[in-house]
Amino acid sequence: MKSRPPLHFLFSIFALAIFAACDQRNSDADPGAKATPNPGTAEKPAGKARIVSWNLQWFPGHKPDATPEVAAEHMAAAQKAVAALKPDVLLLQEVRGWAGAAKLCEAVPGLTPHVVTAFEKQIPGARPQNQVIAAKMPADSAWSATWVGGHSGPPRGYAFAALELSGGRFLLCWSLHLKSNVGQFDQNVSMRVESARQLLAHVREMVALYSRRGPCAVVVAGDMNTSADDPKFAKEPTMRGLIGAGLWWTHEGVPFAKRTTIPAEGSFPDNCFDHILTAGLGRPVAFVKAFPGISDHNPVVLDVDFSKADFAPRLDVAAGLKVLSTVTAPNVPVDLPGVIASSDAAAIAAAVGKNVTIRGKVSRVGQTKTASMNFINFVGNSRTEFVAIVKKDHFASIAAGHGGKLDSLIGKTIEVRGELILYKGTPEIELRAPADLRVIE
């Protein structure tokens, strides 16, 4: 995959098949790594399966500048642990690249990487802390994308794979590694919240897409860098928003001592930052298994019984977005270069075809007679010089953070982000996700 697909990536069945066949290995694989094709005859389990999520701490090697000897030791220990865990689905974080993921999966017969992110190639200054989805079952489609966030948005992104199960069912999986707690706490929270907003929008779109093809269930897992019950994160809505959207927290009811994913070290106490959330799989309960020395995180393990699951996720994404709306998106400095004023018609015309950020005061909000299209006009330009639009399919998710409607934006200065296109002679940006619109004042 050569570019980040937008969050509204609604494929046709034919396009999905082509995308899956193309795969993303040519762009995301480690230099010199051998690409392993997705096995067309892989197992499609009808009954029980094990899902494992694990942050492997700069795998292999524990640190960015690990020697080959240390990396080899890390690999051997992790392979032994994964062999003992026997996962059917493996979701990893902090993996350097495709070669390491593929070698690790050799520990379990039939376990194959379907997607390995390469954020260091997509985000300036990013380090190779990548996310992986591997499985014994084949993938109908698999890709990765960076979070949309402009100049100061959330780091990294997500890995996604739609795994094929027996009976024409799909297991839709996301592997996440949200913003760490290094740096200013409030900014870290806002970045995690923004990632959660974009994730929920993508979950809703993939569930809508795959539900037309067959029953599906959802698995969202990874290092969230936040806790559902630590007082330090009491005001952070990231986990509450995901749960409020209808995702089942598989640590629910588990005593804290039995779900510690980051053991205490020095002045840092025990914590639970690693989570698996599901929808359409009932209410399975996860457990944590310790493998000292392999990582500063313990893996989260979830055993599910597909034969007892209804594969009918009951999601209320709007409710989750409402919870998340209590925290604003990451702030962007007002004098940040590269932001185009909505009144600068010449600069807007020159930027057609590019991904841009446009800032201005909203003069009017309206919609077509059928409500299929909503539009935002700005002070200082005519309707033919620039307009931001929101189509009906994306209205609820975008308006959720603004009281459920866009009228509240009138008189406020906002930023809109996206590809600037020319439609019937008028430059416009189509807003497709909550992160595409940000209130500045």
| pLDDT tens profile 353-373 | 887 889 999 999 998 988 899
- Verify that 349 and 401 share a domain, yes or no: yes
- Verify that 217 and 283 share a domain, yes or no: yes
Give this prediction's pTM: 0.70
- Verify that 208 and 150 share a domain, yes or no: yes
- Verify that 245 and 361 share a domain, yes or no: no
> In the Cβ-directed half-sphere of 259, how many Cα atoms lie within 13 Å?
22
- Helix, strand, coil fractions of the chain, as percent rounded to 5: 25, 30, 45
Question: 98-105 and 68-85 are packed helices; what angle lies between their axes, rounded to 10 degrees?
Answer: 40
- Specify if 334 maps to a domain: no
| Domain end marker among 301, 324, 347 | 324
Rounded to whole angstroms, how far apart are CA atoms 249 and 230? 15
Rounded to whole angstroms, how far apart are CA atoms 200 and 242? 7
CATH number for the domain that contains residue 377 = 2.40.50.140
- Specify if 2 maps to a domain: no
| Domain end marker among 271, 301, 324 | 324
- Verify that 302 and 350 share a domain, yes or no: no
In the structure, what pLDDT confidence band is assigned to residue 397 with cuts at 50, 70 and 90?
confident
- Verify that 391 and 274 share a domain, yes or no: no
- Verify that 129 and 48 share a domain, yes or no: yes
Sign of the Cα torsion 346, 350, 353, 355 reads negative
- Specify if 333 maps to a domain: no
- Specify if 25 maps to a domain: yes
What does the mean pLDDT of the chain come to?
85
- Specify if 331 maps to a domain: no
Which residue range is the domain that position 398 belongs to? 339-439
In the structure, what pLDDT confidence band is assigned to residue 312 with cuts at 50, 70 and 90?
very high
- Specify if 4 maps to a domain: no
- Verify that 240 and 289 share a domain, yes or no: yes
Per-residue confidence (pLDDT) for residue 5, from 0 to 100: 45
Which of the pair, 134 or 404, is modelled with greater confidence?
134
In the structure, what pLDDT confidence band is assigned to residue 44 with cuts at 50, 70 and 90?
low
- Verify that 312 and 382 share a domain, yes or no: no
Per-residue confidence (pLDDT) for residue 149, from 0 to 100: 63
Q: For 84-131, write each residue's pLDDT tens digit.
A: 999 999 999 999 999 999 999 999 999 999 999 998 887 777 788 999
The structural domain count of the chain equals: 2
- Verify that 271 and 297 share a domain, yes or no: yes
Which of the pair, 193 or 433, is modelled with greater confidence?
193
Token pair 């009976």: residue:
167
- Specify if 258 maps to a domain: yes
- Specify if 212 maps to a domain: yes
Which of the pair, 383 or 204, is modelled with greater confidence?
204
- Verify that 244 and 312 share a domain, yes or no: yes
> In the Cβ-directed half-sphere of 230, how many Cα atoms lie within 13 Å?
19
Query: What are the structure tokens assigned to 71, written together?
Result: 């990396």
CATH number for the domain that contains residue 188 = 3.60.10.10
- Verify that 402 and 377 share a domain, yes or no: yes
Q: Is the pLDDT of residue 332 over 60?
A: no
| Domain end marker among 262, 294, 324 | 324
DSSP track, 50-72? EEEEEEEEEETTSSTT--HHHHH
